[in-house]
């Protein structure tokens, strides 16, 4: 059986800025890339005799979450995330899904952080070295 599931929550632990729990919007897809080795697809990577040339490189793990709920009260979620993104320190991340799946990794918040005022959400992308681990 194959089971799809919503992201329930994302836990973030930063060495100097503390911890934060984020709640993604339900019914939306996220993307998980485990990282590690990746072989490039290039039709022109071949010798004159027809032998394939494979280009394999190491890439970091990445998670693009569903839109994150933006609490604009005294504890502004987007501002807290922006502060963590501006830090040069990596964070510990925990991604929990509705089917009980949990992934963990150490990395940083990357990309643009812009809040949608009407939807009260913002996009979030996180990347890190090594591999994303399922626990």
Helix (H) or strand (E) holding 81, with range, is helix 77-86
1 occurs within a structural domain = no
2 occurs within a structural domain = no
Model-wide pTM > 0.85: yes
Contact 68, 23 (CB under 8 A): yes
The CB density around residue 77, as the number of other CB atoms within 10 Å, is 21
Contact 89, 15 (CB under 8 A): yes
Question: In the numeric block, which tokens belong to residue 37?
Answer: 């080795």
Q: Is the pLDDT of residue 74 over 80?
A: no
pLDDT of residue 12: 98
98 occurs within a structural domain = yes
CATH number of the domain within which 49 lies = 4.10.410
Q: Is the pLDDT of residue 90 over 90?
A: yes
36 occurs within a structural domain = yes
Q: Which residues, at least 6 apart from 30, have a Cβ–Cβ distance to it below 8 Å? A: 7, 24, 63, 64, 65, 66
Q: What is the pLDDT of residues 47-72, one digit of tens each?
A: 999 999 999 999 999 999 999 999 88
Tell me which residue has tokens 């626990």: 135
Mean pLDDT of the chain: 93
Please tell me which residue, 36 or 108, carries the higher pLDDT value. 108
If one counts the domains in the chain, the total is 1
62 occurs within a structural domain = yes
User: Cα–Cα distance between 135 and 63 in angstroms, integer?
Assistant: 16
65 occurs within a structural domain = yes
Domain that holds residue 75: 7-134
Largest separation between any pair of C-alpha atoms in the chain? 67
């Amino acid at each position: 059986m194959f089971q799809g599931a919503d992201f329930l929550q994302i836990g973030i632990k930063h060495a100097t800025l503390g911890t934060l729990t984020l709640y993604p919007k339900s019914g939306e897809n996220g993307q998980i890339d485990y990282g590690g080795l990746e072989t490039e697809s290039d039709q022109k990577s071949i010798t004159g005799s027809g032998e394939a040339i494979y280009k394999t490189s190491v890439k970091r793990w990445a998670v693009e979450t569903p839109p994150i709920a933006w609490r604009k009260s005294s504890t502004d979620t987007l501002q807290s995330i922006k502060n963590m993104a501006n830090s040069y320190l990596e964070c510990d991340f925990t991604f929990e899904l509705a089917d009980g799946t949990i992934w963990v990794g150490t990395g940083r918040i990357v990309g643009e952080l812009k809040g949608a005022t009407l939807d009260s959400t913002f996009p979030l992308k996180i990347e890190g070295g090594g591999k994303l681990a399922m626990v």
